[in-house]
Amino acid sequence: MRHDGILENRFVWDQPYEIESEHLLEIADAMTELSGERPRAILSVAGLYGSMTPEARKVDIHRANDYTLAIALVIQELSQRLLANFYFKIKSNTYPVKIFKSEEEATAWLQQQIRTSQKVG
Whether 121 and 20 have beta carbons less than 8 Å apart is answered as no
Return the domain boundaries, the chain.
7-120
Domain 7-120 falls under CATH 3.30.565:
no
pLDDT digit string (tens) for the chain, length 121 residues: 999 999 999 998 888 889 899 998 898 888 888 888 889 999 999 988 888 888 887 876 655 677 889 999 999 989 888 988 887 887 777 889 999 999 999 999 999 999 998 887 5
Closest by CA to 30, choosing from 40, 17, 18, is 40
Q: What is the pLDDT of residue 61?
A: 65
Q: What is the pLDDT of residue 121?
A: 55
Closest by CA to 1, choosing from 26, 38, 49, is 38
Q: Nearest 5°: phi and psi at 25?
A: -65, -40
Q: What is the pLDDT of residue 86?
A: 85
